[in-house]
Copies of this chain bind each other. A is one copy, B any other.
Amino acid sequence: MAEAAAFAIDIRVYYEDTDATGVVYHANYLRYFERARTEWLDSRGLGHREMAERHGVAFTLADLSIHFRRPARLDDRLAVTAAIAERTPVRVVFEQEITRDGRSLIQGQFTVACVKVADFRPCRLPEALSKEFR
């Protein structure tokens, strides 16, 4: 997992992300986590458009859980990681973390399910994509 765990994107906290308590609004961390998953998928040639147009599938969130340790603040520079923790023929579990200066702020686990674009029904991950998740 060492390699996968190394994947991370940098994010800066803007006003749009904060709320009146002075820290990042909790739902906005989910946006950060999704940006990292998107970039991770892209880095493996699994962009949204390619998956839909070439394979007829998309990913949809089935479950998520978040553990909040410390808040992020305006102007913070954050790193958001993405790594695969588990894979079944129909689901992929991402383990993700938001850190600031190497210190863990928020941890998240996201289970995404493969669905057909045509009817949003669950389906098996296409063989061609499956190997990218190993």
Contacts and interface: CB of A to CB of B under 8 A. Distances in A.
Given A62-B68, A63-B65, A34 B20 contact: no
Copies in the complex: 4
A110 B5 CA distance: 27
A14 B42 CA distance: 12
Q: Is the interface of A mostly helix, strand, loop or mixed?
A: mixed
Interface residues of A, number: 36
A45 interface: no
Contact of A27 (B34, B65, B68): B34
Those 8 A-B pairs whose CB atoms lie nearest each other, nearest first: A18-B20, A27-B30, A65-B65, A16-B31, A27-B27, A15-B19, A20-B74, A18-B19
